[in-house]
Amino acid sequence: MKRDYSQFLPLAGAASVPRRAPTALETLGWRPFFAQQASIDDLIETPPVRVVEVHRIGLQVLGEEIDALVPSGLEATVGDWLLYDRNHPARSRLLDRTSLFKRRAPGKDRRLQLIAANVDTALIVSSCNLDFSVARLERYAALALEAKVTPVIVLTKADLTEKPSAYVAAADAISDSIAVVPLNALSEEPTSKLADWCTAGQTLALLGSSGVGKSTLVNALLGEKATKTSGIREDDDKGRHTTSRRQIHFTPQGCALIDTPGMRELQLTDSEEGVADLFSDLAAFAGQCRFRDCQHESEPGCALQAALERGEVDPARLARWRKLAAEERYNAATLAERRARDKSFGKMVRAITKHHKKRMEDW
């Protein structure tokens, strides 16, 4: 029987070749990076599916004529690609990712929480009101840069403030390489102003606190009310949770939008490069210090302190960088300790099981 492999192949790009319509997989975000991780026979026997929603009981996946629930157990998150085992869904194979957003989970158990995978652009959403925070935006930006994802700062509710330019200026100062887009999410502006990033085959993740307008933004890009929205508290402009789980929506143009629950606490971990990229100017000064282990406080030959005295460094920004860098180092160390402890415990369990099995065989 002749097999149809077209669903696994990229779109024709040559000008002389008529461009065919995207397959169902390409609409979901399938690309050569994923196809190259398996043989054609593997892709036929275990067809590719994408995780479009994360439930407590498992992962909702979509593929070519596949809409199924994979039981909990896989270390996967929304946006991931799996090779779906129809007979044993829990044994489905997780494909390597192009990018991964993760954080240290809230609480004291030192766990790592996966947020989203295989994202091309991170829309870091903040509103132009009392909830606006440069420090929070920097955290999200560092998270995106660590994942090698393009960050874009989207300022919603710009129509509700008398001076939106002040919010734009504060966001612009975070990095020269990060675009800042002010808009009214309840208008037609999201479709036009975000058109450069929201294109066919691309995956966008919306990140931000509750009430900043992520769900409203999703609805605007979809052209329909696909997600629930709610207002903010009048006393502090803080929002209420409306998105309770991570899920993907698809625009009419074929762009995947990952809506995530609002995160009040974003503890960075394993994000050293992202923090360094975001504060590359400060990192450059730090590299000129006389001592390699300089703490940038009162040590002799500290290039950062010298730049601060010359007025070349914003003291508030320097304080935020030091805080983020220290937090990242601490969280990375504590998570490494947990991983080592879990690994040691696993070895002990396997040794006991092996010993018990041998005793039973001897008996």
Return the percentage of the chain with pLDDT > 70, whole number. 78
Instruction: Give the pLDDT score at 234.
Output: 41
Burial of 102 (0-12, 13-18, 19+ CB in 10 A): buried
pLDDT at 100 over 90: yes
Quick one: pLDDT band at residue 333, thresholds 50, 70, 90?
confident
Task: Name the H helices within the chain.
Answer: 24-28, 32-35, 40-45, 134-146, 164-172, 189-193, 214-222, 272-278, 280-286, 303-309, 315-362
Return the percentage of the chain with pLDDT > 90, whole number. 53
Instruction: Name the β-bridge partners of 250.
Output: 256
Report the distance separating Cα 307 and Cα 59, nearest Å: 50
The shares of helix, strand and coil residues in the chain, as percent rounded to the nearest 5, are 35, 20, 45
Task: For residue range 29-40, list pLDDT tens digits in order.
Answer: 999 999 999 999
Higher pLDDT, 355 or 254: 254
pLDDT at 348 over 60: no
Task: For residue range 107-141, list pLDDT tens digits in order.
Answer: 666 677 899 999 999 999 999 998 899 999 999 99
Note the maximum CA span of the chain.
83
Instruction: Give the pLDDT score at 89.
Output: 95
Quick one: pLDDT band at residue 231, thresholds 50, 70, 90?
very low
Average pLDDT, integer, range 153-165? 92
Report the distance separating Cα 285 and Cα 360, nearest Å: 65
pLDDT at 102 over 70: yes
pLDDT at 236 over 70: no
Helix axes 134-146, 164-172, angle to 10 degrees: 40
Quick one: pLDDT band at residue 272, thresholds 50, 70, 90?
confident
Task: For residue range 292-314, list pLDDT tens digits in order.
Answer: 888 888 788 889 889 999 999 99
**What is the overall mean pLDDT for the chain?**
83
Token pair in block for residue 112 = 């790592």
> Dihedrals φ, ψ of 158, to 5°?
-65, -20
Helix axes 134-146, 315-362, angle to 10 degrees: 50
Instruction: Give the pLDDT score at 108.
Output: 64
